[in-house]
Chain A
Amino acid sequence: MESKLLTEHYDKESFRTLKGYQELGGYEVLKKALKMKPAEIIATVKESGLRGRGGAGFSTGTKWSFLPKNDEDRYLLCNADEGEPGTFKDRLMMERAPHQLIEGMIISAYAIGSKKSYIYIRGEYTYPIRVVEQALREAYDAGLLGKNILGSGFSHDMDVYRGAGAYICGEETGMISSLEGLKGQPKLKPPFPAVKGYLKKPTIVNNVETLAAVVPIIRDGAQAYRKFGTEKSAGTKLFSLSGDVVKPGNYEVTLGYKLSDLINNEGGGLKSGRKLKAVIPGGSSAPVLTAEEAAKATLDYECLQQMGSMLGSGAVIVIDDSHSMVDLLSTIMHFYHHESCGQCTPCREGTGWLDKMLHRILLGEAKSQDLDQVLNVAKNMMGRTICALSDAAALPAISFVSKFRDEFERHLKEGFKEGKSHAQMHH
């Protein structure tokens, strides 16, 4: 069953306008927050157990508390780069509820003492960018942004920055580099953004959904939020369900919801005559689950981590028995090869190598040892790079080949059923 903490009014056209948003209770929480002390807001968010909804799942309140406790200028950056394959929830939130995001951001900015924030939206999202920009204009006109917001004495400026097509800009320091006018290449950590981020100033980078969630948390309090979800994974989450289901789409459910329920209830189950083969639970970077594993999984950070995978961005891709795992993995490896920023050697060379190997394997021009080579190369790409893209490329390679080894071996012997032309079109 869906929980509508965030998405309650998403089906109403007017919700994206300031008037419509306010009629449905919009910006009341901001008024409440501006009367609280910033430290109170941070404490509430910490207590609520909200974890980063972009993929890393790091405790939001804890991240905020890493900021220096002086009055040094600090920035709030909203990560709307949404590039993880399978994910399309932030797009929905920006298209249907831009003011919810803006309200959440102003509250968060107030809590951390930031005078300036940016919403970094991926370049391809032309329509969401227009919607958000329009909402910002409305907010400024209504005195909800700019100097002395609602007479509180707190001033804040917010702007949209349009990306230009690079998955790596979804990595927080990659996004910071891009915003600084450089190539979107991640930066060395330490120092972490909360200490030295955008233009070497303290910076908090949060996902769209994380910032929007601040609104119901401050409205109803931490304990009310904790009523949803599990002990370690509190609250609700939007899951982007796609692949071989009857009703793909974004669904907000409590964390801890059964994966099979999401697929069969909200998702309407598999297409007729098809059997479940595999599920990618958290975007292409998350290790794949076999059908047996998927049947036991619940959608929270802990369960999936214990199973060797991750909740990630919450992009659930359902794979039925009509697809070749070899073909799918080749598609995924092509993606990481295309998106590696090229800075550090293991990732730059490793993603290219994996793509080439999988392509050969797909065309049937490989041997069983090549499968071991894929595992070996992937293993040695992990833990040695500036950012996690290298690991994100390695994990699917390892999980697909390990869990579906029989299919890969069979493919090497029998070749691609649909013929070579299909695979060659791919590159």
Chain B
Amino acid sequence: MFELSKEGKEFVKKELDRYEDRYSAIIPCLYWAQKENKGWISPEVIDCLAKEMDLPQSRIYEVAMFYTMFNKKPVGKYHIQVCCNISCSMAGGRELMGHICKKLGVTPEEVTKDGRFTVSQVECLGSCGTAPMMQVNDDYHENLTTETVDRFLSECK
């Protein structure tokens, strides 16, 4: 059973009053709940938010399933999102993703056995001038080479 922390419940209350419409608080509250639920939105999270926000499950679930930044499955401690759109693919983004998957011994969207990594292919992240690049959790890592990627991965504990 997922239950929001005391802080989380206070955050929900605040967000419900922050915008002109209570429904607008759904996205911010999903972000918070995702952080408290090990990085993904489980059905229990939806039920919990429906109760805390007094909004229908269907509406919250629709939002959670519509946007890509809400994870529908558990993710590793480091969520590696490699851009494979035009400029990044021209700069070798796809090969880089293949390299990362091979190095970690994992297929896209799955979690490594030690729970540390998930690798995803994502669309344009607005960093085309510093391609190829990736987003790991909240941070951008740009102008990547296999060397810089390897060094980064080894530093991820």
A–B contact (CB under 8 angstroms): yes
B33 to nearest A CB, angstroms?
Answer: 13
B140 near A127 with CB under 8 A, answer yes
B residues whose Cβ falls under 8 Å from a Cβ of A: 18-28, 30-31, 59, 62-63, 66-70, 84-87, 89-90, 94, 97-98, 123-131, 135, 138-140
Q: B94: which A residues are within 8 A, CB to CB?
A: 422, 425-426
Q: Mark A169-199, 1 if CB is under 8 A from B, else 0.
A: 0000000001111111000000000000011
Q: B70: which A residues are within 8 A, CB to CB?
A: 164-165
Report how far A124 CA is from B135 CA in the complex, Å.
8
Residue among B24, B97, B125, B129 making CB contact with A250, cutoff 8 Å: B129
B126 near A91 with CB under 8 A, answer yes
Residue among B26, B67, B98, B139 making CB contact with A165, cutoff 8 Å: B67
B124 near A85 with CB under 8 A, answer yes
B128 near A88 with CB under 8 A, answer yes
Q: Which stretch of A31-39, A133-141, A303-311, A315-323 is in the interface?
A: A315-323
12 contacts between A and B (CB under 8 A): A86-B128, A87-B126, A88-B126, A124-B125, A181-B19, A181-B24, A182-B63, A183-B62, A184-B66, A240-B129, A339-B123, A426-B84
Report how far A411 CA is from B16 CA in the complex, Å.
55
A162 near B31 with CB under 8 A, answer yes
Q: Is A40 an interface residue (CB 8 A)?
A: no
Q: B130: which A residues are within 8 A, CB to CB?
A: 248
Q: A315: which B residues are within 8 A, CB to CB?
A: 128
A85 near B24 with CB under 8 A, answer no
Report, nearest first, the 6 A-B pairs whose CB atoms are least far apart.
A181-B23, A164-B67, A165-B68, A242-B128, A165-B69, A248-B129
Q: Is A387 an interface residue (CB 8 A)?
A: no
Q: B66: which A residues are within 8 A, CB to CB?
A: 166, 183-184, 341
B85 near A331 with CB under 8 A, answer yes
Q: A88: which B residues are within 8 A, CB to CB?
A: 126-129
B28 to nearest A CB, angstroms?
Answer: 7
A180 near B23 with CB under 8 A, answer yes
B86 near A328 with CB under 8 A, answer yes
Most buried by A among B30, B69, B90, B125: B90
A95 to nearest B CB, angstroms?
Answer: 11
Report how far A215 CA is from B131 CA in the complex, Å.
32
Chain A residue, CB-CB nearest to B20: A199
Chain B residue, CB-CB nearest to A184: B66
A284 near B86 with CB under 8 A, answer yes
On whether A242 and B131 interact (CB within 8 A), knowing A123-B67, A181-B22, the answer reads: yes
Interface size of A by Cβ–Cβ distance < 8 Å?
Answer: 58
Q: A332: which B residues are within 8 A, CB to CB?
A: 86
Interface of A, helix, strand, loop or mixed by DSSP: mixed
A residues whose Cβ falls under 8 Å from a Cβ of B: 82-88, 90-91, 116, 122-127, 159, 161-167, 178-184, 198-199, 240-244, 248-250, 280, 284, 315, 317, 319, 323, 327-328, 331-332, 335, 338-339, 341, 422, 425-426
B140 to nearest A CB, angstroms?
Answer: 7
Q: A249: which B residues are within 8 A, CB to CB?
A: 129
Chain B residue, CB-CB nearest to A332: B86
Most buried by B among A159, A164, A244: A164
Residue among A179, A240, A280, A341 making CB contact with B24, cutoff 8 Å: A179
Report how far A50 CA is from B81 CA in the complex, Å.
37
A317 near B21 with CB under 8 A, answer no
Report how far A120 CA is from B87 CA in the complex, Å.
25
Other 9 A-B pairs with CB < 8 A, given A124-B135, A164-B68: A85-B128, A86-B124, A161-B24, A166-B67, A182-B23, A243-B128, A280-B86, A328-B90, A335-B124
A352 to nearest B CB, angstroms?
Answer: 16
Report how far A161 CA is from B19 CA in the complex, Å.
10
Residue among A166, A198, A280 making CB contact with B68, cutoff 8 Å: A166
Report how far A335 CA is from B129 CA in the complex, Å.
19
Report how far A317 CA is from B68 CA in the complex, Å.
25
Residue among A91, A161, A323 making CB contact with B90, cutoff 8 Å: A323
A407 to nearest B CB, angstroms?
Answer: 16
Chain B residue, CB-CB nearest to A245: B129
Q: B125: which A residues are within 8 A, CB to CB?
A: 124
Report how far A181 CA is from B127 CA in the complex, Å.
27
B90 near A181 with CB under 8 A, answer no
Report how far A87 CA is from B129 CA in the complex, Å.
9
A174 to nearest B CB, angstroms?
Answer: 11
A106 to nearest B CB, angstroms?
Answer: 19
Report how far A37 CA is from B31 CA in the complex, Å.
42
On whether A85 and B63 interact (CB within 8 A), knowing A164-B70, A182-B23, A425-B94, the answer reads: no
B4 to nearest A CB, angstroms?
Answer: 18
Q: A183: which B residues are within 8 A, CB to CB?
A: 62-63, 66
A403 to nearest B CB, angstroms?
Answer: 16
A123 to nearest B CB, angstroms?
Answer: 5
Q: A122: which B residues are within 8 A, CB to CB?
A: 126
Residue among B18, B24, B140 making CB contact with A180, cutoff 8 Å: B24
Q: A82: which B residues are within 8 A, CB to CB?
A: 126
Q: B30: which A residues are within 8 A, CB to CB?
A: 164
Q: A181: which B residues are within 8 A, CB to CB?
A: 19, 21-27, 59, 63
Report how far A335 CA is from B93 CA in the complex, Å.
15
Report how far A243 CA is from B138 CA in the complex, Å.
25
B128 near A126 with CB under 8 A, answer no
Q: B68: which A residues are within 8 A, CB to CB?
A: 164-166
